[in-house]
Structure 1
Amino acid sequence: MVRVATYFAMTFGAFLFWQSLEKLHVWIALHQDEKLERLEKEREIKRLREELLAEAKERDSLA
């Protein structure tokens, strides 16, 4: 009986450990995706800002 209970406890513990690791991996993946999206937005904003500054310089040089 002790062996059965020990086996059950170890199996249940392994299941809980596996589930917690899975949740951790999902959390890490979501935060990496958010970080990549933020970096892409920052690059786009920087590119647009540079384009606008270049256009403004062209208008100033023409005027």
Structure 2
Amino acid sequence: MPRRRLLLSAARSSVTVVLSAVVYHLVPLDKGPDIGTAIVPAVSPVLFAGVLAWQVCPRSRATTRMGAE
């Protein structure tokens, strides 16, 4: 079981790094304002919040279980 948790933790971290890099490279900083300039920054915080919740939720459940024992 500890090996599975380690692999899941590594997978979550990898997904977070990849998504952060993708968002960084998708933001069109070298062009003038257009629809892409508005969409990417608007969607990025939602995506970031989703990834953050995905990472924090298992930890909060584990803390709750530990407190119940």
TM-score, normalised by the number of residues in structure 2 = 0.44
- From the two aligned structures, give the one with the greater helix fraction: 1
Max Rg structure: 1
Which is bigger in relative contact order (C-alpha 8 A, separation at least 6)?
Answer: 2
TM-score normalised per structure 1: 0.47
